Amino acid sequence: MKSIVNILTALCISVWLTVPCFAQPSEIEPVQDITTGQWHLSLNTGLGVITNPLAGGGDLPLVLIPDIAYYGEQFFFDNGRLGYSLIQDSPHTFNLVTEFNSETRFFVDWHPSNIFALRSESSFTNSENELQIQQPSLDIRELNKRKWALDAGLSYHYSYQQHVFSVQALADVSGVYDGWRSALQWQMHKNIGELQIKPTIGIWYKSAALNTYFYGLTEKESPVRAIEVGSSWQPYAKIDARWPLNGANSLRFHLAYYDYSALADDSPLFEQTYSLTAFIGFDHIF
């Protein structure tokens, strides 16, 4: 039963966790080969996983992954990201965008009981007398839930031959964490015969308010003291490859690496310093 729930959860959140299908929502724009004014719907079927770097957090299996997008003259919807194009003067594109913050993905099917064991191994300095005092018991049901946050902001894309350079800045407009994030990214579109390859390199900046809300601990959650997490830089790299079989079907491979080492140094929630997304399967366009 638990595995079924995990699969259904991955299916639902993959619409807004990935663009297209596997990247975090705001990392890639615009989508290629989508006819203006028509809905694009495809389904990826195969085997994959999103690893969870948090202590007690289960990995999310990837079996069925939808790709849903619509691009009008100015308004667009792309796998959970809603936007409005302010300027489409090739090679420059400016967009207003809004999307759910993707940090929530690690807290789906999350078991926080292991947090406290991890905290006992963190770099707190206690005196000998303090160590002899019985720590107060905690009820994991009292932990605050990490709410879904809605972010909005601006994105800019510059295209040069096979390269796309992107800059974006998004802030919380839902009042959940009252922080912001920004990113720089380079992506290349390369064809080697029939093989279509898209390597991507980028880096996120995430504010202290964002990191503290998702990866810190409040006084109510911590037996010692509240834990605040500072701002961080998060580099990432990925590669996406397709091998067309016919007009509607193709083989699909995706591998992505997200570095959380800066956050792991400050937050006791992390068990690993990175998250991997890997998938191999078939993509069918409807």
pLDDT in tens, 173-202: 999 999 999 999 999 999 999 999 999 999
Lowest mean per-residue pLDDT among 165-179, 223-237, 251-265: 223-237
Please give the average per-residue pLDDT across 202-222, as a whole number. 91
Nearest to 57 by CA among 127, 102, 6: 6
Q: What is the pLDDT of residue 143?
A: 57
Please give the average per-residue pLDDT across 153-173, as a whole number. 96
| Strands 81-89 and 92-100, sheet pairing | antiparallel
- 52 C-beta neighbours (distance < 10 Å), count: 20
Q: Report residue 116's pLDDT band, with 50, 70 and 90 as the boundaries.
A: very low
Any bridge partners for residue 156, and if so which?
94, 167
What share of the chain has pLDDT > 70, as a percent? 76
pLDDT in tens, 227-253: 899 999 999 999 999 999 998 999 999
What are the tokens at 233? 């830089």
Q: What is the pLDDT of residue 126?
A: 37
- 140 C-beta neighbours (distance < 10 Å), count: 13
Nearest to 179 by CA among 215, 213, 145: 213
Which numeric CATH code is attached to 2-285? 2.40.230
What share of the chain has pLDDT > 90, as a percent? 52
Q: What is the pLDDT of residue 57?
A: 78
Any bridge partners for residue 284, and if so which?
43, 249
215, 179 in Cβ contact below 8 A?
Answer: no
The helix (run of H) or strand (run of E) holding residue 197 is: strand 195-206
What is the average pLDDT score of the chain?
79
Predicted confidence (pLDDT) at residue 8 exceeds the cutoff of 70: no
CA distance 185 to 259: 15
The helix (run of H) or strand (run of E) holding residue 62 is: strand 60-71
Top pLDDT among 131 and 181 is at 181
